[in-house]
Amino acid sequence: MAPTPFNGRKPVRWLILGVTIGVLAAVGAELGGLYLAATHGWLPANADAPPPALERWLATTALNALILREATTKPNPVAYTDANFIAGVKLYAANCAVCHGAASGPASNIARGLYQKAPQLARYGVADENPGDVYWKIAHGIRMTGMPAFDGALTQKQMWQLVLFLQNMHYLPPAAQKIWNAVPGAAATRADASSNLPSRSSQEKRS
């Protein structure tokens, strides 16, 4: 029998070897390209640009899948009492309003400069979300955005009081509504910065 061009070896083995080398070379080239892009300032690391579609899809899909896996489906354990609502409003004013806004008024300069933008929760709320999902976001934060993880800084009860407030901010009991209305809105914007600097007393009220 005449010898084959592969000296008797099976052609399929050469095919596997060729494909493996090809894949390794492609991965190596991609890693090399990524290294070059990162070290030469070709990757966008700035915050003042809209997120590309692929980044947005990946971040949103990963976050939703993680929350689906980890967040509790149990209802909010804190009761609908004045004390819990008032605690929620005060915690929000001290920890969240700077990014997520007050009952009315424009988004703060910090909120507008963030990548991703911080949703103004009085306008774009989380009332229709599963309470456990909202709790998860407050406790663990959202990676590569300005949203901090409050687990460790706040107790579980405080974070559930925040969830209670956020999910009912348009139906607050009168005592809590009064305090919510008094939470100061955004600081001066660039346009009125020189004429309307936040006064010392209004900064003290925030904390």
Report which residue type is found at 186: A
Q: CB-based contacts of 59: which residues, under 8 Å, 6+ apart?
A: 51, 144
> Does 137 sit near ligand HEC (CB under 6 A)?
yes
Closest-CA residue to 121 (of 155, 140, 96)? 96
Identify the residue among 93, 118, 122, 186 touching ligand HEC (CB under 6 A). Answer: 118
Q: How many CB atoms lie within 10 A of CB 117?
A: 15
Task: Kindly tell me which of 89 and 134 has the beta carbon lying closer to ligand HEC.
Answer: 134
Structure tokens at 181: 């209305």
Nearer to ligand HEC, 64 or 81 (CB): 64
The piece of 111-119, 170-178, 183-191, 195-203 that touches ligand HEC (CB under 6 A) is 111-119
Chain-centre distance for alpha carbon 186: 20
Asked if 100 is part of the footprint of ligand HEC (rule: CB under 6 A), the reply reads yes
**148 makes contact with ligand HEC (CB under 6 A):** yes
> Which region among 12-20, 34-42, 64-72, 118-126 touches ligand HEC (by CB under 6 A)?
118-126
Q: What are phi and psi of 154, to 5 degrees?
A: -115, 155
Choosing from 105, 106, 146, 173, the residue that interacts with ligand HEC (CB under 6 A) is 146
